[in-house]
Amino acid sequence: MTPEEKDLINQIRSEGLDIKSREKAMQRLGEQLEETFILDLLPSKAVIQALEKIAASKAAPASLKRKAKSLVKAYKI
């Protein structure tokens, strides 16, 4: 996991940030996953695991859970 990915995941999990900032971080993380996919690289297992935890979280907003679930489905190998 790169430092930027780790920072984005921390932003997504942070309950102190507003929902727009968290959604923006999720969007950027999705862009990074797409970039690694285009470059024919495997996504980090830590990132996929973090997204799975967010998708299953009861505390996360529904919009973040849906996006996390779709990213896992698209990029999990």
* Dihedral over alpha carbons 42, 46, 52, 58 (to 10 degrees): -160
Kindly report the pTM of this predicted structure.
Answer: 0.87
What is the chain's percent helix, strand, coil content, to nearest 5? 75, 0, 25
pLDDT reading at 60 higher than 90: no
Task: State the pLDDT at residue 77.
Answer: 78
Domain membership of residue 36 as a residue range: 3-75
Q: How does DSSP assign 45-58, residue by residue?
A: HHHHHHHHHHHH-S
**pLDDT (tens digit, 9 = 90+) per residue, 20-50?**
999 999 999 999 999 989 998 888 899 999 9
The count of structural domains within the chain is 1
